[in-house]
A and B are shown apart, each in its own frame.
Chain A
Amino acid sequence: MSTTDKTPEKVDTVSVTIDGIQVDVPKDTLVIRAAEQIGVQIPRFCDHPLLKPAGACRQCLVDVPDAGNGRGFPKPQASCTLPVAEGMVVNTQATSEVADKAQQGVMEFLLINHPLDCPVCDKGGECPLQNQAMSNGRGESRFVSSGTGGTKRTFPKPINLSPQVLLDRERCIVCQRCTRFAAEVPGDPFIALVERGAQQQIGIAENAPFLSYFAGNTIQICPVGALTSESYRFRSRPFDLVSTPSVAEHDACGASIRVDHRRGRVMRRLSGDDPAVNEEWITDKDRFAFTYATADDRLRYPQVRDAETGDLRPASWPEAFAVAARGLAAARDAGGVGVLPGGRLTAEDAYAYGKLARVALGTNDVDFRARPLSVEEADFLAAHVVGTGVDGSGGVTYADLETAQTVVLAGLEPEDEAGTIFLRLRKASLQHGTRVLALAPFTSRGLRKVGATLVPTAPGQEAASLAALVEQAAHGVDKNAIVLLGERLATSPGALSAAADLAARTGARLAWVPRRAGDRGALDAGCLPGLLPGGRPVSDPAARVDAATTWGVDSLPDAPGRDADAIVAAAAAGDLAGLVVGGVDPDDTADPAAFRAALDAASFVVSLELRATDVTAVADVVLPVAPAVEKAGMYVTWDGRVRAFPEVLAVPGSLPDLRVLAGIAEELGAPLGFRSVDEVRAELGEMGPWDGDAPVMTPVAAPADAGAGDGLVLASWKQMLDDGAMQVGDKHLAATARPAVAKVAPAVAAAFGSTVTVTGDRGSLTVPLEVADDMVDGVVWLPGRSTGSGLLADVASPGSRVTISGGDD
């Protein structure tokens, strides 16, 4: 919205002459980019459009006979650090002998010590140094023809900058792209130049590896093969790879990626270039976590539970569809079927789950939220989130984050939970002076890097903190502010109501940021008990008729549906006879034990899963589904942006959820009306968004007694790299994860040694202790999924009371 309805700003332009061609470019443009305007590519290594100019490699030398003031530079100038001036005359290597000779000379210097190991270098074939040595270098070097043969400087190779990033120092040309990236973009300056002269090299401090969630980007921007990744090293050459653009499936940011694959196997993933979303950066999780799709426990064929032995046995697809349909029909008649799609689905797959529930199973018991949730959250999503988007419907965009005066973070730790938002916030904070207010129990490393001002808030107190923001003029929460609400606010009663109230009173804009890629798409596709696709409220008869007309059915169920917690409770109590479970990990749900009990209690469970899990172990029918890489689809990002991606690998027999559900529905005698992704997209387009009234949210008051009780309040979120199911298979990536520690206030820490045991109502956990200087009193923080079966299963639900005691030491 912001980009379309703003009047273009008046920009001052200056006129320069490059290679005899006059060109008008905005003021302060660098000569190297002005030259691109007329189609002249000046060779460069250190220059990167998203990093500050450095002038480190000197490869981009040009001749400047007139600097705009009538006098020229006596010697060639680096065009990547030279801003244009009115009347400037620049001659590049295309027209100037001087520039060409200077560039050839620099190239000769750069190659003095660069090894000739291109055949074994991962960059060989896609290497800017290789390419530009051919285009702008001399054929012969004068430094090797002497009698001694010109011995090159060598280093022992390679060394680890981090468990994932390897450095071949002899290949490095000291362009400093990596160090500048690390310092400027994610704010993790753990690598720096060390030594001098020919020994100058990239280094890390002793015992301080380059542990950044964004370290993989340095590998991609390295213009030589100095930085390589452990997981891709020697795996293939650029010319065997087939590249397919795609969208990252690990968070709700929808980062653009490029999947490079060879003979049906994904070899690596690189960042795509999408200025509106992730610019050119992705998180290491998006880059390296793709081996889950080829894990050993991947399900490859349907299985049904044998009536005699009670074990799962392989089955054909038609048999599995028939058995699933028979069981679901019986369960539907015996009490009902609950549908739990999970949050990792594409929007098309989520739509199929929603339609299956309404059309084939005759129920509104469908909820995508495979995590702690609340009724208040569902109301909030229906009233304020569903249907917003970037196409002029009022959604907050990445660009808005950059221009906002104030961004409030509530229940959201951007570095861990939404890496792309984190990078944008840091850019906004550093370049545009955006003030970031964080409602959090302590200033985490990520919050410090975005320059956030902490509004100390214990878990459960978010409602009060949000309400208080209105009063405090110093915080500047007004109509130019954006409030980012994390999915964790569902566990804080009243918080989302308070946020809606804050927005109504100040004009600040709200955006809801879930963790999982499929959450927002599932919301828009109608996977909530109270919502049909496109945000149609189930409670509105007109909306039901509208959806029923599109679906070609007489009527849709009007009984209020159960949310995920209620489905689990009903199944455990025997009220629901059947469950259809998608990608749900019991340990992610609000009460893992209750979820498992519900699975055991339900008489018929159908599981659609990628890999063997606790759900498939007890399911009556297990239907394997395709991972994101083997199907087309789309994710809807937190800002409502639709991110469609094509099928990368064509694998016969690897079916998306929607095809599997269509097969079951056909056996049930209630066909869904589609079998392919394209058909679902057409149907989604036909249905369109709801143009009637959105439901109004019933505000929930924060409980008055919040904050009272014994012990400490448990704060938690999931770290970006942890024990998640979609990060298995890459041990190098896992080694870069942050360790599991308990964080407490200094006063609390003083009473304990180096480890503590945190005990909640579900168990206890012993982890190292770390002091968080500004931790709110009475709060202990633990990572959500970095230990054992996760916090929810092993310790307690975030927001509840725990006790801590000394560890074993």
Chain B
Amino acid sequence: MADDSIRAPKPESQDGPKTFKEQFVDPVAGFGVTFRTMFRKVVTEQYPFDKQPTAPRFHGRHQLNRWPDGLEKCVGCELCAWACPADAIYVEGASNDDTPDADGNSQRFSPGERYGRVYQINYLRCILCGLCIEACPTRALTMTNEYELADDNRADLIYEKSDLLAPLLPGMEQPPHPMRLGEDEGDYYRNSYAAPAPSAAPAAATAEEGHDR
């Protein structure tokens, strides 16, 4: 240690010469994780070529549900818009009208007096928190697992009612049409309608949503 003054700046010199472990094992040990992982199953998902299902309760794109006869469940009450912390939902209500229009068709979109004439969700704002789902009094609004919500312009990310409505299952009829399942909206809300209209089986999934109220 006589030449301390000369070698002092080099810190490793204080510990003397490197051991074998320091010289050969330690530099390679850092790759341990790398080598170990090379023999494990790959977790990388090959999205978008290979799409994996999400968790069952994943918060994805919204859906506006229908009654088994195809009428909309949404009553345009705007409670979803009220609950929304991001102000992403815009709703306008309107009156259902049972009087036939000029072509003799009913003007009814939902059971009861009111329906959502305009329904928009702005997915540039939506944070998919699900508070709107909790607020919905008729279980009209639920979330699907669909997560592909990207686009290259603003207009296409504002989803209209037509984009959000659940598809027509067999047995459903595109509104507007009269109430097929009961005399009034109470029959719908209490599930006191008989068998879902024409074909029961496919509509059962939608009917179930009503049961958990």
Contacts and interface: CB of A to CB of B under 8 A. Distances in A.
Contacts of B93: 120, 234-237
B76 A234 contact: yes
B206 interface: no
A456 B113 CA distance: 52
A125 B93 CA distance: 15
Interface string A222-237: 0000000000011111
A239 interface: yes
Interface in A185-208: none
Interface stretch (B52-60, B77-85, B121-129, B147-155): B77-85
Contact of A240 (B75, B81, B113): B81
A239 B112 contact: no
B78 A234 contact: no
B16 to A, nearest CB: 76
Contacts of B208: none
B82 A239 contact: yes
A119 interface: yes
A237 B78 contact: yes
A67 B209 CA distance: 57
Interface string B176-191: 0000000000100000
B107 interface: no
A158 B94 CA distance: 15
A234 B95 contact: yes
B171 interface: no
Interface in B15-48: none
Nearest to B112: A120
Interface in A95-121: 119-120
Given A119-B77, A120-B75, A120-B77, A237 B82 contact: yes
**Chain B: number of interface residues, binned into ranges:** 10 to 19
Nearest to A152: B186
B137 interface: yes
Contacts of A157: 113
Contacts, number: 38
Contacts of A237: 77-78, 81-82, 93
A371 B114 CA distance: 45
Interface string B57-68: 000000000000
Contacts of A236: 78, 92-93
Interface residues of A, number: 14
A234 B81 CA distance: 15
Nearest to B186: A154
Residue from the set A119, A154, A235, A239 with the largest chain B CB neighbour count within 10 Å: A119
A125 B81 CA distance: 13
A120 B113 contact: yes
B112 A240 contact: no
Interface in B139-198: 186
Contacts of B81: 237, 240
A119 B93 CA distance: 11
B114 A240 contact: no
A154 B78 CA distance: 25
Nearest to B81: A240
Interface in A139-188: 154, 157-158
B87 to A, nearest CB: 10
Interface in A201-256: 233-237, 239-240
Contacts of B112: 120
A155 to B, nearest CB: 12
B95 A119 contact: no
Interface of A: 119-120, 124-125, 154, 157-158, 233-237, 239-240
Given A120-B113, A235-B92, A240-B81, 8 more contacts: A120-B76, A120-B93, A120-B114, A124-B77, A233-B95, A236-B93, A237-B81, A239-B78
